[in-house]
């Protein structure tokens, strides 16, 4: 905890002692007070709800598309050869920037915003599911088949559970990326949502609000990550190592 305390102490002292101007970096205690005030405002909760809805819809769709695709790639060489180059080519594209293109196609509503979250979260989900399915020990498949397990049951009872640890850590990455994508797309095309709320504060020169929003959003991202890891540990106790 030492490093955290040192950082926070510096953040508190630097503006107070005049090392940085308090108009550009407000002291930590002021930021926390402002953050506490913001989270109780109804308009903030409305914006949070708008962002959270898009985030959940986009992430859910990405899981529904990405996980089966990745698992199938892990079991089929041909499919892997076909899809993998697409992933390699799409990987370095800044997905959040596609919001401008999607807005041209589908307007500035939720459809474009959800679509951009899906594109952002998809690749890590496909790749981790692929690695999970490709690493299933052939002996497991042989024994299951030898015992007369059908195709569908083989997927449900052998491939999916064996790949689950990898899938779940892919979801963890996708959670972080999709939060990033939602925020970035809201910063680029205003309207409703947390990102737009934050940027309005920047435009109005409300430095304290900007810092408070950063702290709130960073804490939300961290809290989601911790909750997810804890939920996975509870739900799937047999996973070894990190989630």
Partner 1 sequence: MDRGGRLSAALRLYPFALALALWWLLAASGTLGNEFVMPPPPRVFERARELLDDGTLGREVLVTFSRVALAFSLACVAGVGLGLLIGSVPAVRRALRPLVSFLFPAPKVALYPAMVIVFGLGSASKVALGFSEALFPVLLATAAGASQVDARLRWSAAALGTSRHAALVKVVLPAALPQILNGARIGLVGAIVGVFLGEMIAAADGLGHLMAISYRSLDTPGLYVAMLAVSILGYALDRAFLFARRRLLRWSDEFDGDG
Applying CB under 8 A, the residues found at the interface with partner 1 are: 1-4, 7, 24-25, 81, 84-86, 88-98, 100-101, 104-105, 175-176, 179-180, 183-184, 187-188, 195, 198-199, 201-202, 207, 210-211, 213-214, 217-219, 221-222, 224-225
Question: Between residues 158 and 210, which has the closer beta carbon with respect to partner 1?
Answer: 210
Residue 48 or 144: the one with the smaller Cβ distance to partner 1 is 48
Q: Which residue from 100, 68, 78 is spatially nearest to 189, judged by alpha carbons?
A: 100
Convert 211-229 to b/e letters by CB count within 10 Å (16 or more is b).
bbbebbbeebeeeeeeebe
Q: Report in angstroms how near the CB of residue 75 gets to partner 1 at its nearest.
A: 18
Q: Closest approach of Cβ 198 to partner 1, in Å?
A: 6
User: In the complex with partner 1, which residue's Cβ is closer, 61 or 176?
Assistant: 176
Q: Please tell me the distance from the alpha carbon of residue 68 to that of residue 185, in angstroms, as a whole number.
A: 27
Q: Which is nearer to partner 1, 110 or 225 (CB)?
A: 225
Burial call 67-104: b when 16+ CB within 10 Å, e when fewer: bebbbbbbbeeeebeebeeebeeeeeeebbebbeebbe
Instruction: Answer for the pair 121, 56: CB distance below 8 angstroms, yes or no.
Output: no
Q: How far is the CB of 219 from partner 1 (least distance, A)?
A: 8
């Amino acid at each position: 905890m030492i490093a955290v305390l040192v950082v926070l102490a510096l953040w508190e002292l630097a503006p107070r002692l005049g090392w940085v101007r308090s108009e550009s970096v407000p002291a930590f205690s002021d930021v926390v007070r402002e953050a506490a005030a913001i989270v109780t405002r109804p308009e903030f909760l409305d914006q949070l709800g708008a962002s959270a809805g898009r985030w959940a819809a986009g992430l859910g769709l990405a899981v529904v598309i990405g996980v089966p695709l990745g698992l199938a790639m892990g079991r089929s060489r041909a499919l892997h050869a076909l899809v993998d180059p697409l992933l390699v080519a799409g990987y370095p594209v800044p997905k959040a920037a596609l919001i401008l293109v999607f807005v041209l196609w589908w307007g500035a509503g939720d459809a474009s915003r959800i679509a951009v979250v899906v594109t952002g979260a998809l690749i890590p989900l496909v790749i981790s599911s692929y690695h999970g399915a490709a690493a299933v020990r052939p002996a497991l498949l042989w024994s299951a088949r030898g015992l007369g397990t059908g195709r569908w049951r083989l997927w449900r009872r052998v491939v999916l559970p064996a790949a689950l640890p990898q899938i779940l850590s892919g979801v963890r990455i996708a959670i972080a990326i999709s939060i990033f994508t939602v925020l970035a797309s809201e910063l680029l095309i205003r309207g409703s949502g947390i990102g737009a709320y934050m940027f309005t504060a920047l435009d109005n020169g409300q430095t304290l609000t900007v810092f408070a929003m950063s702290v709130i959003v960073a804490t939300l991202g961290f809290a989601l990550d911790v909750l997810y890891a804890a939920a996975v540990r509870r739900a799937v106790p047999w996973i070894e190592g990190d989630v």
